[in-house]
Amino acid sequence: MSPILSLLVLLLVTSTSAFTMTPPSTRGSSTALTAYNKVFVAGGSRGVGRCLVDQLIASGRQVVALVRKEEDAGLLNALEGCTAIVGDAFDQKTVENAMDGCDAAITTLGGSTADQGQRIDYDGNNNVIESAGILGVTRVILVTSIGCGSSKEAAPPNVFEALKPVLLAKEKAENILIKYYTNMNWTIVRPGGLKSEPATGKAILTEDNTAIGSIHREDVAALVIQALDAANTEKKILSAVDPSITSSVSMEGKTVEEFALA
Ligand SMILES: NC(=O)c1ccc[n+]([C@@H]2O[C@H](COP(=O)([O-])OP(=O)(O)OC[C@H]3O[C@@H](n4cnc5c(N)ncnc54)[C@H](OP(=O)(O)O)[C@@H]3O)[C@@H](O)[C@H]2O)c1
């Protein structure tokens, strides 16, 4: 994890009580097989993307993962149901060739504030979106971050400033989907501060763009798959947080309404 993203985690994860939530009437099922049986994943070498690869395979789907390093491809190719392709997401044609034949695309591509010039948070994600458009892959899930777009106010100002280049680049990718891909069934998932700990199973998606807090990477992956399968996540922008994790960020006393997947 980059030092700056570690900072976000540190700022989001400390003491005090978290927020409460109102329960949804229904929850999506992560095991229900849908039309999306062969899923392209960009960012699958580690973090949320790797959790996604594991969980998608566990749900009985095939995964095509685009990774930069041969060693990551070796690890993923050893998993039954996963085909890893070595390539750089900065190259649109590479992304398109890897995605060809898939019925859905998920991107968790992310970079660091230290990056200069092209940012994978925009250019890589844009290449995934553009490739999906070219290939007619109409189901796309873009994983960005709380602090992007309409959720800017949710991020504490010091966190927003520290992460600004990354958040703005991700927001630019979000806007491509929102403004130009009106025929696409897209969903944007904005997680809070990420932790690599076992799933709590208590994380939620919410349309409340003031929600802020922490969430474990395994739970983000599970929510992304639930969102993939749900019929009512088309053109939705959803924050992903875990009300069961204590956080220093002041959601105390606030009620966050869980988005009811259906
Ligand atoms: N850290 C946080 O607290 C936080 C909070 C909210 C949102 N997010 C965002 O949530 C997402 C998941 O975060 P994470 O920390 O679990 O994962 P991550 O460590 O940020 O993983 C980023 C992924 O993008 C891949 N990638 C970067 N540049 C690439 C390129 N040119 N070509 C192909 N792949 C490339 C990386 O591959 P390599 O292994 O080859 O580098 C890695 O698989 C990211 O978009 C992140 O920015 C993070």
Chain segment 138-190, per-residue pLDDT in tens: 999 999 999 999 999 999 999 999 999 999 999 999 999 999 999 999 999 99
* Residue 160 counted as domain residue: yes
CA-48 nearest atom, ligand 1: 16
* Residue 72 counted as domain residue: yes
In this structure, which residue's CA is closest to atom 36 in ligand 1? 43
Q: 165 CA distance to ligand 1 centroid (A)?
A: 15
Q: Is the pLDDT of residue 106 over 80?
A: yes
Average pLDDT, the chain: 89
CATH code assigned at 92: 3.40.50.720
pLDDT bin (cut points 50, 70, 90) of residue 22 is low
* Residue 262 counted as domain residue: no
Q: 183 CA distance to ligand 1 centroid (A)?
A: 27
pLDDT bin (cut points 50, 70, 90) of residue 20 is low
In this prediction, residue 15 carries a pLDDT of: 32
In this prediction, residue 28 carries a pLDDT of: 42
In this prediction, residue 246 carries a pLDDT of: 80
Test site for ligand 1: of 4, 41, 48, 96, most ligand atoms within 8 A of the Cβ: 48
Q: 85 CA distance to ligand 1 centroid (A)?
A: 17
> What secondary structure, in 3-state letters, does the chain show?
CCHHHHHHHHHHCCCCCCCEEECCCCCCCCCCCCCCCEEEEECCCCHHHHHHHHHHHHCCCEEEEEECCHHHHHHHHCCCCEEEEECCCCCHHHHHHHHCCCCEEEECCCCCCCCCCCCHHHHHHHHHHHHHHHHCCCEEEEECCECEHHHHHHCCHHHHHHHHHHHHHHHHHHHHHHHHCCCCEEEEEEECEEECCCCCCCCEEECCCCCCCEEEHHHHHHHHHHHHHCHHHCCEEEEEECCCCCCCCCCCCCEEECCCCC
Chain segment 119-132, per-residue pLDDT in tens: 999 999 999 999 99
Lining ligand 1 with CB less than 6 A are: 1, 5, 8-9, 43, 45-49, 66, 68-69, 88-90, 108-111, 120, 124, 143, 145, 191, 193-194, 217
Number of domains in the chain: 1
* Residue 213 counted as domain residue: yes
In this structure, which residue's CA is closest to atom 45 in ligand 1? 110
In this prediction, residue 251 carries a pLDDT of: 60
Chain segment 46-55, per-residue pLDDT in tens: 999 999 999 9
pTM (predicted TM-score):
0.91
Q: 198 CA distance to ligand 1 centroid (A)?
A: 19
In this structure, which residue's CA is closest to atom 11 in ligand 1? 108
In this prediction, residue 111 carries a pLDDT of: 96
Range of the domain at 230: 3-257
* Residue 44 counted as domain residue: yes
Q: Is the pLDDT of residue 4 over 70?
A: no
Q: 233 CA distance to ligand 1 centroid (A)?
A: 23
